[in-house]
């Protein structure tokens, strides 16, 4: 099986594609990038609580997948979840307020970076126990079937998560019962220090789908449009009652595993090569090549995304501090 | 003598046992090439090789079972969980299998297994902050060990490795020292910002079930483990300025528990506070209160005071986490209550 992964640098092939979709994906990817880059700076320069995991370089996966969903479709996320939330339209202000542990945050300051949740947007939660979101999304798919809601449920998880038992158990049930679930392996090639080849006997992760009798698709995860199209096909299948799909999106974690983790286990040339395959730049180049947008237009969107994050930070700074006893209201749900 | 921090002391204990006993093996996530998320296993892969230091996939249930199987067949396995919260992914293997095999086999099978990793609240939210020891105190067949100092850590890890039973070895992130996430700030109210202390170079074993009197006193006994032990010592310091003499006991293992040392202390002070970072309800402190009532009731001049974490998942916001986790002032208030009762 192939372990060698080709690094694609070519512009996204945008010819004849929907300009509105492409520009929206571009904007969302920029927001996700800027959100994390500003957050990183805040962690360096201020007393931010907790920790964070950046998905810099992986934005095309989150944005491409979610762009193929309806607003009421549901997703589960992981410890590396900011981009999933941005893509799913979780308000940036509330996300940022959560990072600051403020009352107005998405989770009222109770969850933090690793547990972002927004039910009004179909964002069922970020689960920081690796692999634990997989059966939970599958349950949301089962619920969609029982309620006959027409929704699909998507689970985002990493290449490391496929080695948890939850992956096997959930995918089997989803396929057994034809549930409207989509599994996105965000293969950024590392689980902390471990490469895919060091942790999976079969490094072609999409191929695992055949064990569950479901389609398995490998896609260029730094090409937002390719991710979008693969997901759209999976969504059609799911909504038609034909069951789940496993999608492996190949991408790369440009930063360390977590805030300030130096990732010394990776060759510098490898990191540099992937920096040159940036998903945002590839989409920008593709749109320009196809005459969908001018450099000026794209720069304007870049400026808008930067301002949106500046505003989110300004908002978070003015929000109210969590009071020490706020949590008492959230231990169990009572009428 | 040279000084070691807690992580370095555990590391030295493991290395010495691995040198002395070829049957000792180590497994866990990022323990080899990376040297462990908290550096406890740094350089062990280089010294012992990939046949004895196993970098596992993220498969807690699986590699815990592998540890059990290896232990049943002649190895002494040390299994690391990157955070002890993740041992819950392996609950069946630990609770239904490892802990019960010795009895189920009528004593024929032995499971010399150490399950170790860090715990404790450090601003990481509900899934990376728990104190998990009570679940395993509730699981007969296991031992539960909790070092609060580098000296104890080395002697206890050596005993845990030599033990023929599954041993849960609980480390506290904030006691690792500078390398710990959250770092010094959370420790500013204790004396342990720099946790290095004298640790003998030669191997030594501290028997499981031997409590240590970390500070002798006459007026009130405080029993605490891990980070809470250090907060209790800070309270003892404060109260001594007011003429109150506090005895601080570190059980060092909760299973087996050194009831004798605890009872002797209570016979002298007649007043006791128990402190633990885990959840109050059905937790470590609750068990200690019950044990003290069983053994020391007629020595008590006041009801035992229990100080433990609030009965809640641990919230993210620092102010809320601080409210949930026992602080120096909570322990101090409990000591004052038990003295005025
Ligand atoms: C059950 C469990 N085991 C271990 C961890 C510690 N941990 C957090 S993220 C991570 C690596 C995850 O790798 P992958 O699934 O590829 O996601 P990525 O970090 O690359 O996004 C590990 C080992 C955890 N959070 N949960
Ligand atoms: Mg990964």
Q: Domain with A73 in it: what CATH number?
A: 3.40.50.970
B283 and B171, same structural domain?
no
What is the per-residue pLDDT for B184?
45
> Is it the case that residue A295 has pLDDT exceeding 90?
yes
Given the residues B60, B80, B171, B247, select the one marked as catalytic. B60
Residue B248 within any structural domain of the chain:
yes
Note whether A263 contacts B: Cβ–Cβ < 8 A: no
B316–A101 CB contact, under 8 Å: yes
Model pLDDT for residues A310-333, shown as the tens digit of each residue: 999 999 999 999 999 999 999 999
B55–A331 CB contact, under 8 Å: no
Tell me which residue range forms the domain holding A242.
19-255+270-318
Atom of ligand 1 nearest to the CA of A192: 11
Angstrom distance (rounded) from CA B92 to CA B99 = 10
Closest Cα to atom 25 of ligand 1:
A129
| Residues in contact with A316: Cβ distance below 8 Å, sequence separation at least 6, in sequence order | A93, A96, A97, A99, A100, A102, A104, A105
Residue A202 within any structural domain of the chain:
yes
B34–A322 CB contact, under 8 Å: no
**What separation, in Å, do the N-terminal and C-terminal C-alpha atoms of chain B show?**
45
Residue A10 within any structural domain of the chain:
no
What is the per-residue pLDDT for B182?
41
Residue A209 within any structural domain of the chain:
yes
Model pLDDT for residues B27-58, shown as the tens digit of each residue: 999 999 999 999 999 999 999 999 999 999 99
Residues B225-239 have a mean pLDDT of: 97
Angstrom distance (rounded) from CA B194 to CA B175 = 9
Model pLDDT for residues A59-102, shown as the tens digit of each residue: 999 999 999 999 999 999 999 999 999 999 999 999 999 999 99
* Number of domains making up chain A: 1
Residue B207 within any structural domain of the chain:
no
Tell me which residue range forms the domain holding B244.
212-340
What is the per-residue pLDDT for A6?
87
Distance A159 CA to ligand 2 centre (A): 5
Residue with tokens 């600051």: A100
B250 and B151, same structural domain?
no
Label each residue of A123-168 as H, E or C.
Answer: EEEECCCCCCHHHHHHHHHHHHHHHCCCCCEEEEEECCHHHCHHHH
Angstrom distance (rounded) from CA A57 to CA A34 = 12
Q: Which ligand neighbours the alpha carbon of A131 most closely?
A: 1
Angstrom distance (rounded) from CA B265 to CA B218 = 8
Note whether A205 contacts B: Cβ–Cβ < 8 A: no
Note whether A195 contacts B: Cβ–Cβ < 8 A: no
Closest Cα to atom 12 of ligand 1:
A191
Residues of A in contact with B323 (CB under 8 A): 324-325, 327
Q: Which of B163, B186, B191, B161 is nearest to B11 (CA)?
A: B161
Note whether A115 contacts B: Cβ–Cβ < 8 A: yes
Nearest residue in chain B measured CA to CA from A52:
B124
Residue A330 within any structural domain of the chain:
no
Let me know how long chain B is: 341
Residue B196 within any structural domain of the chain:
no
- Confidence tier at B240 by pLDDT (50, 70, 90): very high
> Is it the case that residue B190 has pLDDT exceeding 80?
no
Residue B181 within any structural domain of the chain:
no
Select from A125, A327, A333 the residue whose CB has the most chain B CBs within 10 Å, as the one to mutate to test that interface: A327
> Is it the case that residue B185 has pLDDT exceeding 60?
no
Model pLDDT for residues B241-254, shown as the tens digit of each residue: 999 999 999 999 99
In short, whether A129's Cβ falls inside 6 Å of ligand 1 is yes
- Confidence tier at B194 by pLDDT (50, 70, 90): low
Read off the DSSP letter of residue A191: E
B317–A193 CB contact, under 8 Å: no
Instruction: Say if residues B213 and B107 touch (Cβ distance below 8 Å).
Output: no
Atom of ligand 1 nearest to the CA of A79: 9
Residue with tokens 């490998």: A218
| Ligand 2 (single-atom ion) residues, CB below 5 Å | A 158-159, 188, 191
| Residues in contact with A111: Cβ distance below 8 Å, sequence separation at least 6, in sequence order | A98, A105, A117, A126, B125, B126, B316
CATH of the domain at B236: 3.40.50.920
> Is it the case that residue A198 has pLDDT exceeding 70?
yes
Residue B255 within any structural domain of the chain:
yes
User: Which secondary structure element, helix H or strand E, spans residue B143, and what is its range?
Assistant: strand B143-145
Whole-prediction pTM value? 0.97
CA of B286 vs chain A CAs: smallest distance (Å): 20
Residues B178-207 have a mean pLDDT of: 69
- Confidence tier at A228 by pLDDT (50, 70, 90): very high
Tally A–B CB contacts below 8 A.
Answer: 122
Q: Which stretches does DSSP call E strand in B216-312? A: 220-224, 246-250, 253-255, 272-279, 305-309
B324–A128 CB contact, under 8 Å: no
Residue A88 within any structural domain of the chain:
yes
Angstrom distance (rounded) from CA A57 to CA A33 = 8
B100 and B23, same structural domain?
yes
From the number of C-beta atoms within 10 Å of its C-beta (0-12, 13-18, 19+), residue A195 rates as: middle
Residue A324 within any structural domain of the chain:
no
- Look up residue B8 and give its two tokens: 């370095």
**∠ Cα B175 B178 B179 (to 5°):** 90
A322–B317 CB contact, under 8 Å: yes
Residues of B in contact with A200 (CB under 8 A): 57
Residue B183 within any structural domain of the chain:
no
Shortest CB distance from B58 goes to which of A164, A326, A328? Answer: A164
Average pLDDT of the residues of chain A: 97
Residues of B in contact with A114 (CB under 8 A): 124-125, 127-128
Residue B188 within any structural domain of the chain:
no
> Is it the case that residue B228 has pLDDT exceeding 70?
yes
Shortest CB distance from B319 goes to which of A114, A115, A324? Answer: A324
B249 and B159, same structural domain?
no
Distance set, CA A112 to CA A94, A179, A241, B49 (Å): 11, 31, 36, 39
Given the residues B128, B230, B247, B321, select the one marked as catalytic. B128
B317–A49 CB contact, under 8 Å: yes
Distance set, CA B63 to CA A179, B13, B87, B120 (Å): 30, 22, 11, 23
Cβ atoms within 10 A of the Cβ of A147, count?
A: 9
Select from A102, A160, A164 the residue whose CB has the most chain B CBs within 10 Å, as the one to mutate to test that interface: A164
Residues of A in contact with B125 (CB under 8 A): 50, 111-115, 128
In short, whether A133's Cβ falls inside 6 Å of ligand 1 is no
- Confidence tier at A21 by pLDDT (50, 70, 90): very high
Note whether A128 contacts B: Cβ–Cβ < 8 A: yes
% helix / strand / coil in chain A, to the nearest 5?
50, 10, 40
Catalytic residue at B260? no
Select from A43, A114, A193 the residue whose CB has the most chain B CBs within 10 Å, as the one to mutate to test that interface: A193
Distance B46 CA to ligand 2 centre (A): 25
Mutate to test the pocket of ligand 1, among B58, B59, B91 (most ligand atoms within 8 A of CB): B58
In short, whether A251's Cβ falls inside 6 Å of ligand 1 is no
What is the per-residue pLDDT for A253?
98
Closest Cα to atom 5 of ligand 1:
A130
| Residues in contact with A146: Cβ distance below 8 Å, sequence separation at least 6, in sequence order | none
* Number of domains making up chain B: 2
CA of A133 vs chain B CAs: smallest distance (Å): 13
What is the per-residue pLDDT for A3?
56
Atom of ligand 1 nearest to the CA of B30: 23
What is the per-residue pLDDT for B179?
45
Model pLDDT for residues B110-168, shown as the tens digit of each residue: 999 999 999 999 999 999 999 999 999 999 999 999 999 999 999 999 999 999 999 99
- Confidence tier at A4 by pLDDT (50, 70, 90): confident
Distance B16 CA to ligand 2 centre (A): 34
Q: Which of B300, B4, B314 is nearest to B150 (CA)?
A: B4
Residue B169 within any structural domain of the chain:
yes
Model pLDDT for residues A253-283, shown as the tens digit of each residue: 999 999 888 899 999 999 999 999 999 999 9
CATH of the domain at B27: 3.40.50.970
> Is it the case that residue A18 has pLDDT exceeding 80?
yes
> Is it the case that residue A1 has pLDDT exceeding 80?
no
Cβ atoms within 10 A of the Cβ of B188, count?
A: 8
Residue A172 within any structural domain of the chain:
yes
B324 and B265, same structural domain?
yes
B86 and B38, same structural domain?
yes
Residues B24-28 have a mean pLDDT of: 98
- Confidence tier at B192 by pLDDT (50, 70, 90): low
What is the per-residue pLDDT for B197?
87
A111–B128 CB contact, under 8 Å: no
What is the per-residue pLDDT for A2?
46
Residue A329 within any structural domain of the chain:
no
From the number of C-beta atoms within 10 Å of its C-beta (0-12, 13-18, 19+), residue B73 rates as: exposed
B250 and B104, same structural domain?
no
B269 and B141, same structural domain?
no
- Cα dihedral sign, B52-B55-B60-B62: negative
This model of the complex carries an ipTM of: 0.97
- Look up residue B92 and give its two tokens: 């069946």
Closest Cα to atom 7 of ligand 1:
A130
What is the per-residue pLDDT for B196?
78
In short, whether B58's Cβ falls inside 6 Å of ligand 1 is yes
What is the per-residue pLDDT for B195?
64
Angstrom distance (rounded) from CA A311 to CA A167 = 39
Catalytic residue at B42? no
């Amino acid at each position: 099986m192939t372990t060698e992964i080709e690094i694609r640098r070519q512009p996204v092939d945008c010819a004849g594609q929907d300009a509105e979709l492409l520009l929206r994906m571009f904007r969302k990817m920029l927001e996700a990038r800027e959100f994390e880059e500003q957050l990183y700076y805040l962690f360096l320069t201020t007393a931010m609580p907790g920790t964070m995991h950046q998905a810099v370089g992986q934005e095309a996966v989150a944005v491409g997948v979610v762009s193929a969903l309806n607003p009421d479709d549901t997703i589960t996320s992981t410890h590396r979840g900011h981009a999933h939330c941005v893509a799913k339209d979780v308000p940036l202000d509330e996300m940022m307020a959560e990072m600051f542990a403020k009352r107005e945050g998405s989770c009222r300051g109770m969850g933090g970076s690793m547990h972002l949740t927004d039910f009004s947007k179909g964002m069922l939660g970020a689960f920081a126990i690796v692999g634990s979101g997989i059966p939970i999304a599958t349950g949301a798919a089962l619920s969609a079937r029982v309620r006959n809601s027409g929704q699909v449920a998507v689970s985002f998880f990493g290449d490391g998560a496929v080695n948890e038992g939850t992956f096997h158990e959930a995918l089997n049930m989803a396929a057994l019962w034809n549930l409207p679930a989509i599994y996105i392996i965000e293969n950024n090639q590392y689980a902390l220090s471990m490469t895919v080849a060091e942790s999976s006997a079969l490094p072609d992760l999409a191929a695992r789908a055949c064990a569950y009798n479901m389609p398995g698709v490998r896609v260029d995860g730094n090409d937002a449009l390719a991710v979008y199209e693969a997901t759209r096909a999976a969504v059609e299948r799911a909504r038609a009652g034909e069951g789940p799909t496993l999608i492996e999106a190949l991408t790369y974690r440009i930063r360390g595993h977590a805030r300030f983790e130096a990732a010394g286990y990776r060759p510098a040339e490898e990191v540099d090569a992937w920096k040159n395959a940036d998903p945002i730049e590839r989409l920008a180049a593709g749109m320009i090549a196809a005459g969908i947008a001018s450099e000026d237009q794209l720069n304007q969107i870049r400026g808008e995304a930067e301002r949106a994050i500046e505003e989110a930070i300004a908002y978070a700074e003015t929000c109210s501090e969590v009071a020490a006893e706020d949590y008492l209201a959230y231990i169990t749900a009572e009428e | 003598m040279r000084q070691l921090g807690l992580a370095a002391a555990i590391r030295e204990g493991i290395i010495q046992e691995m040198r002395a006993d070829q049957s000792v093996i180590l497994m866990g996530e990022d323990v080899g090439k990376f040297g462990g998320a908290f550096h406890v296993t740094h350089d062990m892969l280089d010294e012992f090789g990939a046949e004895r230091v196993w970098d596992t996939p993220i498969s807690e249930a699986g590699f815990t079972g592998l540890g059990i199987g290896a232990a049943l067949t002649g190895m002494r396995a040390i299994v690391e969980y990157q955070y002890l919260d993740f041992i819950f992914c392996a609950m069946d293997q630990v609770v239904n299998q490892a802990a019960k095999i010795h009895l189920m086999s009528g004593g024929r099978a032995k499971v010399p297994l150490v399950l170790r990793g860090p715990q404790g609240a450090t601003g990481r939210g509900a899934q990376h902050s728990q104190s998990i020891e009570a679940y395993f105190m509730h699981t007969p067949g296991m031992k539960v060990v909790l070092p609060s100092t580098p000296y104890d850590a080395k002697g206890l890890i050596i005993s845990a490795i030599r033990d023929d039973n599954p041993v849960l070895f609980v480390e506290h992130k904030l006691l690792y020292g500078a390398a710990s996430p959250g770092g010094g700030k959370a420790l500013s109210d204790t004396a342990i910002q720099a946790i290095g202390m004298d640790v003998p170079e030669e191997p030594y074993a501290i028997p499981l079930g031997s409590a240590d009197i970390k500070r002798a006193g006459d007026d009130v006994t405080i029993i605490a483990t891990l980070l809470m032990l250090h907060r209790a010592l800070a309270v003892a310091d404060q109260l001594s300025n007011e003429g109150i003499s506090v005895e601080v006991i570190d059980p060092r293992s909760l299973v087996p528990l050194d009831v004798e040392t605890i009872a002797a202390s209570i016979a002298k002070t007649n007043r006791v506070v128990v402190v633990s970072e885990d959840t109050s309800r059905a937790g470590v402190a609750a068990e200690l209160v019950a044990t003290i009532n069983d053994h020391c009731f007629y020595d008590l001049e006041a009801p035992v005071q229990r100080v433990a974490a609030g009965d809640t998942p641990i919230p993210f916001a620092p102010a809320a986490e601080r409210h949930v986790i026992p602080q120096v002032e909570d322990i101090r208030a409990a000591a004052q209550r038990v003295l005025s009762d």
